[in-house]
Amino acid sequence: MQLIVLTPWDLTLAALLVLLLAALSWRLHLGIERRLLLAAVRSSVQLIVVGLVLGSLFATTDLRLIGLLALLMLSVAGWEVRARQKRRYRGLWSYGIGAVSMFLSSFSITVLALTVIIRVDPWYQPQYLIPLLGMLLGNTMTGVAVALDNLTRQASDARAMIEAQLLLGARWDEAIGEIRRDALRSGLIPIVNAMSTAGLVSLPGMMTGQILAGSPPLEAAKYQLLIMFLIASGTGLGSLSAVWIGSRRLFDERERLRLDRLK
Amino acid sequence: MARLALRALRPRHGLAAVDLDIDAGELLLLSGPSGAGKSVLLRAIADLDPHQGQVWLGERAASAMAPAEWRRRVGLLMAESGWWGATVGDHFPAALHADLHAERLSALGFGLEVLDWSVARLSTGERQRLALARLLARQPEVLLLDEPTANLDSSNRARVEQVILDYRQQHQAAVLWVSHDDAQRQRLVAQHQARALLICERALVAEPCS
């Protein structure tokens, strides 16, 4: 089977559907048309630029260039995690906790997958590294953002309960233990749900893309499985480290609950 | 049991630097207008808020002790108690046998079955009395009490006073008791050799200021 190349005209047709939705939103006073159009324009520009950049990048195997792109991806993911927090940490922490956790999980798992599982040579070949890292970062980002948001929100709501435990002689990790577990669970639920319904309700995006591009379905399924396992472990590791660093930051060296460290 | 000593303790806001000694077994009453910094002072002593200065329990400074150990020994009863478990019993130390609680719970007007009660059904007054019970179950060496009888009727107020005075007697605990109840203060000073201090212009003083 051959890859069917999409023409600009094909894309214009699909874009017309979005325009139609925007018109409907305007007619029904939903108030979402501006954001919808802006998001559509943003995704068009971003994806076309990325497509162009990747095209030329795949030709090179310059580790510095690839590293630069990977760091750019990480920093955008860091901002996204920060933006999704209702109660942010003050200072660099709001950015740092998410970025460090995603770095630890996504980068290490990507390198592991490239060197041990897929065995690409050289391991940093961008055609494999960039999409894989993107998948991992995108999903880990969601898990980390949800887990951190849950942690800080619950901790600020439960101040009296946490301090009551501290006052009766509990250590900080005992006093926040239940909240910490809850935050972790909330970060992991989306990927667990995605894995348990994968293929039954809808085909995962990557598998769909591979099939549309002409891969045999079973090969596409194997790659999808690999990605899902990587995503699950990446999300787990990332949420774990974000919740651990985040909860430690809520207490100071004398194990006092310091909600003033949140905005 | 040991003496509690505050040295140039400056809480986050309210009071200026405080120097104060409370001997083992001594009862110190503290009163002052709301917002003067009484609760903030107690939180600083329990090391629950950042502060300057040092607090000593006998020969040991707070900063030389693990925070959890300090707070277990220097027990603070806050005006609003937090409850994290589902039942009352979840808030009592598991290691201690129920019989040991029975005597104190009955002195506070409860039977042992209170440990199975759901926290959600407790009234404000019940919470206040049970918060005292769960604090004393940890056997602190110092009691910091923030209006422990504020929401109680007269019979329960008498029960709580008696339980606190008995605990002080048995354990020779230093007690710092914040109270707004004039009659209570006079009674404790006259009958139990309590020392009374007021807050005046950000300092602790013995006599009302003009």
- pLDDT digit string, tens, across residues B47-106: 999 999 999 999 999 999 999 999 999 999 999 999 999 999 999 987 666 666 788 999
Name the pTM for this structure.
0.88
Q: Which two tokens stand for residue A13?
A: 């047709």
Over chain A, what is the mean pLDDT? 92
Phi, psi of B20 (to 5 degrees): -160, 140
Predicted local distance difference test score (pLDDT) of residue A112:
94
Asked if A169 contacts B47 with a C-beta cutoff of 8 angstroms, the reply is: no
**Average of per-residue pLDDT across B26-48:** 93
* CA angle (A233, A234, A238) in 5-degree steps: 115
Find, among A243, A245, A253, A262, the residue nearest to A178 by Cα: A243
Of A160, A171, A254, the CB nearest to B47: A254
Report the percent of chain A where pLDDT is more than 90. Answer: 74
Domain boundaries defined on chain A? 1-59, 66-261
Over chain B, what is the mean pLDDT? 92
Predicted local distance difference test score (pLDDT) of residue B97:
62
Of B50, B82, B134, the CB nearest to A160: B82
Asked if B118 contacts B86 with a C-beta cutoff of 8 angstroms, the reply is: yes
- Residue-wise pLDDT for B102-120, tens only, equals 889 999 999 989 999 999 9
Question: Cβ separation of A178 and B138 shorter than 8 Å?
Answer: no
**Average of per-residue pLDDT across A152-160:** 96
Predicted local distance difference test score (pLDDT) of residue A1:
52
Does the pLDDT value for residue B8 go beyond 70?
yes
For testing contact with chain B, the best of A156, A159, A161, A168 (most B CBs within 10 A): A168
Residues of A in contact with B76 (CB under 8 A): 167
At residue B186 the predicted structure's pLDDT band, cuts being 50, 70 and 90, is: very high
A127 vs B45: which has the higher pLDDT: B45
Assigned fold of B4-205: Rossmann fold (3.40.50)
Question: Would you list which residues of chain B are within 8 Å, Cβ to Cβ, of chain A?
Answer: 46-50, 63, 67-69, 71-72, 75-76, 78, 80-84, 91, 134-135, 138
Given the DSSP bridges, would you call strands B52-57 and B4-10 parallel, antiparallel or unpaired? antiparallel
Of A161, A169, A252, the CB nearest to B84: A161
ipTM for the whole complex: 0.94
